[in-house]
Structure 1
Amino acid sequence: MTTRHFLTLLDLTPQELHNIIHRAIALKKSPTLRDETLKNKTLAMIFEKSSTRTRVSFEVAMTQLGGSSLFLSPSDTQLGRGESIEDSAKVLSRMVDVITIRTFEHAKLERFARNSSVPVINSLTDDFHPCQLLADMQTYFEHRGDIAGKTVAWVGDGHNMCQSYINAARQFDFELRIACPEGFEPNQDMLDANSNRVSIVRNPAEAVAGASLVATDVWASMGQEEERRQRLEKFHGFQVTRELMAHAASDALFMHCLPAHRGEEVSAEVLDDPDSVVWDEAENRLHAQKALLEFLCNAR
């Protein structure tokens, strides 16, 4: 059987993604369903970027499912001393059952997956963050039901989170409006391939109008700290405020993958508002990843 990987949302079918969401909800509601489904399984976690939610959620997920995890930074492994990605993938995949990687270049993740005999999960690259979208979709399903046919507004940088929302629009069948300053658009090929459901709207209020979900992220991601001052100027007017949320549907939810910079991309009032589900969203990283780990390990 071909090894299944999860590098983007497009690696699974819409039905498989829905099944994972529903399994995640079930696991969250009934802890006894864990039943050590990953007993004696080991997850290797290779992180070249810092992390709170991703690392903790994966480690706890493996523990709750009866498995174990190994955290590996470049300084801990031969990857940091020049061993090729291909060789590392071949060696590690003979010793562990599943691997998750948090790195910069998406191409590096793809090279690793091509040489791994066990499932590889994208914990975040510069291009995509699919695990976060599993949690986001689970959160929406829990609060409002199926997101199909709804309108989602993304306000901010067209980076990895935005690009994962583009894939989510395709896989979960919703309309996505992206409000971003000129020069901060997502990949043009992705926009062209999804032009039937994804659009760029320069005015945030127009993007948010009638939306059932409004999402954002920091304006300066990891590795862009030196650009922060310049980005603050260019993103002026793109903060998600109560005034902006007033243009959305009356039952609209607000999401942010965290960590948030209060007073920059989102006001403190919106982040702490009852319609903000960011804390459920963060917790659901744990449950969605448990369901994903089960799926990938069973697919082998």
Structure 2
Amino acid sequence: MKKEIKHVLSLKDISDREILEIINKGTEYARGLVELGEQLRGKVIGIYFAKTSTRTRTSFSSAALRLGANIISYGPDDLQINTGESIEDTLQVLSQMLDGFIVRTSKSYKPLIDFSDQSNMTIINAMTFDEHPTQALADLTTIKLHFGEIDGINLVYFGEGNNTAIALALAFSKFSNVTIHFFTPSNYGLNKEVLSYAQNEAQKRNSQIYEFHDLTSLPSHADIVYTTRWQTTGTVKQNSNWRKEFEPFMVTEKLLSKYPKAIFMHDLPAHRGEEVEASVIDGDQSIVFEQAENKFHSAKAVLDWCFN
């Protein structure tokens, strides 16, 4: 009988029940309610980051170790992918030796999805060009810890429709009575196909996801104001004057003052004075470092869910 293997490749593939299970486990880890050490005992986890990472790489490496696993870390020049071997051949070889493989790349996650129909190795998408699912799971864990619930949340996002924004749209589409407004520059919005999918899923749960390319439609209420850095890892802007297009979407004190009861979130790293004013990210409404810490607790929950 073929062994069931769980993956975290795209939030489209994980049910609302499973997402809530991961989030709830993440909150338990954050509160110190779960004893560590045995969840991944005897497992060997490969961690391959072709692109830079501070929080995601550290959170998964530390989480795997604290849950009892052994890890093998690969940098961008360590695997033969760097010399032309296909990702498919690499995955085939690694699946004979590893229990899990955590991967970050600037390319599409399609090869990972194509290889997911095997019974040897769990694959976790730690960010691809298409989506950053583990970021959204960590964000939802933070939101659950802060508000107690995710249903009914109102979030306003400013900036590029990048892989973090895509993951947020897919994640929130699994919850009820949620409203998300994405404010993105023209030509830098969310992938239209993914946005349409998320909007359709949200409507099934009485939730709404909107996207606008100017600030004339700002909502009157927000529980969360969210932004990401404008120069996302692995992406290149085609227009040399792109900064001018992004400037109206900077989160300033004036903008945040419209939502005095909202919390401010940012997936980090941040460029103060670019996508956000220093007084905002370092201000009283900001929970960005709590959010960053929860990547560690969420990583433990993701690994726990995948292997148990």
Letter in 1 for 2:302: L
Q: How far does residue 205 in structure 1 lie from its aligned partner after superposition? A: 6.6
Aligned twin of 1:16: 18
**Matches of 1:171 and 1:233 in 2, distance apart?**
34
**Matches of 1:160 and 1:122 in 2, distance apart?**
11
2:137 pairs with 1:134: yes
| Local SS of the residue matching 2:218 | helix
Counterparts of 1:191-206 in structure 2, within 5 Å, are 191-195=195-199, 196=203, 197-204=208-215, 206=217
Aligned twin of 1:223: 234
**Matches of 1:228 and 1:42 in 2, distance apart?**
44
Q: How far does residue 136 in structure 1 lie from its aligned partner after superposition? A: 0.6
Q: 1:62 to 1:157 in 2, by over 3 A?
A: same
Letter in 2 for 1:273: G
1:277 to 260, 273, 287: 287
Q: How far does residue 194 in structure 1 lie from its aligned partner after superposition? A: 3.3
2:254 to 234, 243, 253: 243
Q: Is the 8 A contact 2:156 2:226 kept in 1?
A: yes
Counterparts of 1:154-233 in structure 2, within 5 Å, are 154-173=157-176, 174-195=178-199, 196=203, 197-204=208-215, 206-224=217-235, 230-233=241-244
Counterparts of 1:247-258 in structure 2, within 5 Å, are 247-248=258-259, 250-258=260-268
Q: 1:116 to 1:77 in 2, by over 3 A?
A: farther
Q: Which moved more, 1:3-12 or 1:131-140?
A: 3-12
Aligned twin of 2:40: 38
RMSD: 1.9
Letter in 2 for 1:202: H
2:269 to 259, 267, 279: 259
| Local SS of the residue matching 1:75 | coil
Q: 1:233 to 1:268 in 2, by over 3 A?
A: same
**Matches of 1:230 and 1:84 in 2, distance apart?**
36
Aligned twin of 2:120: 117
Q: How far does residue 116 in structure 1 lie from its aligned partner after superposition? A: 6.9
Q: 1:32 to 1:296 in 2, by over 3 A?
A: closer
Aligned twin of 1:6: 8
CA deviations 1:134-176 (Å, max 9, x no partner) are 1111111111121212211110001111111110121233221
Q: How far does residue 51 in structure 1 lie from its aligned partner after superposition? A: 0.8
| Local SS of the residue matching 2:71 | strand
CA deviations 1:15-58 (Å, max 9, x no partner) are 11111111111112226611421111111011111111111111
Q: Is the 8 A contact 2:16 2:175 kept in 1?
A: yes
Q: 1:130 to 1:272 in 2, by over 3 A?
A: same
Q: Which runs of 5+ in 1 are unaligned?
A: none
| Local SS of the residue matching 2:255 | helix
Q: Which runs of 5+ in 2 are unaligned?
A: none
Give the fraction of aligned pairs with identical amino acids, expressed as a percent.
34
Q: 1:52 to 1:205 in 2, by over 3 A?
A: farther
| Local SS of the residue matching 1:69 | strand
Q: Is the 8 A contact 1:100 1:122 kept in 2?
A: yes
Letter in 1 for 2:189: E
Q: Which moved more, 1:29-38 or 1:263-272?
A: 29-38
**Matches of 1:108 and 1:44 in 2, distance apart?**
17
**Matches of 2:216 and 2:143 in 1, distance apart?**
21
**Matches of 2:149 and 2:53 in 1, distance apart?**
30
Q: How far does residue 242 in structure 1 lie from its aligned partner after superposition? A: 1.6
Number of residue pairs aligned between Structure 1 and Structure 2? 297
1:92 to 82, 91, 94: 94
Q: How far does residue 212 in structure 1 lie from its aligned partner after superposition? A: 0.9
TM normalised by structure 1 equals: 0.92
**Matches of 2:79 and 2:118 in 1, distance apart?**
17
Higher percent of residues as helix? 1
CA deviations 1:57-110 (Å, max 9, x no partner) are 111101111112111124212222222222211211121111111012222332
Aligned twin of 2:84: 82
